[in-house]
Copies of this chain bind each other. A is one copy, B any other.
Amino acid sequence: MKSTTTTITVTAGRRYDYVDVTDDLRRAIKDSGVTDGAAIAFCAHTTCALLINEWEDGAMADFRRHLTDLVPHDGVYYQHDDFQIRTQNMHDDERANGHAHVKAMLLSATSHAIPVVDGEPGFGTWQRLIFFEMDEPKDRTITFHVFGG
């Protein structure tokens, strides 16, 4: 059985931007030499996510609007951002991103397990692997673990 782990770095243009990483996944599969097996896509962060859906500007705008309505970044108290009382995990570039932690936990879209068929992700016609930034942009690491024969 073959098995390879690789990482890519992606950086969104601004908060709530999407980045299509499907071709990065395809390249990780090709480079692994696996033709039949599976791939794990893993987002190594707590305020961004990996979605599998259609890459269509309208649908992505709709999702952004609904999610920020459900979990607003303005006008709502977040204890995570209350630096008067917070003591844990404080670091130098601490930002007011409590809203993004809540969104990330609600989505629970840190990892996906994707069949590999004939050397390609076993996606349906409209499926794309999409990185979704919910915090102020910075470099983000996505890990692909591909395994199979």
Interface residues of A (CB under 8 A from B): 1, 3, 5, 36-38, 40, 42, 44-46, 49, 51-59, 61-63, 66-67, 70-71, 78-82, 85-86, 88-89, 98, 101-102, 104-115, 117, 122-124, 126-127, 141, 143, 145, 147-149
Contacts and interface: CB of A to CB of B under 8 A. Distances in A.
Q: How many protomers of this protein does the assembly include?
A: 3
Contact of A108 (B37, B58, B78, B108): B108
Q: Main SS of chain A's interface residues?
A: mixed
A45 B124 contact: yes
Given A37-B147, A58-B86, A63 B110 contact: no
A32 to B, nearest CB: 13
A86 B75 CA distance: 32
Given A44-B122, A102-B59, A110 B110 contact: no
Contacts of A113: 40, 42, 111-113, 145
Contacts of A122: 5, 42, 44, 143, 145
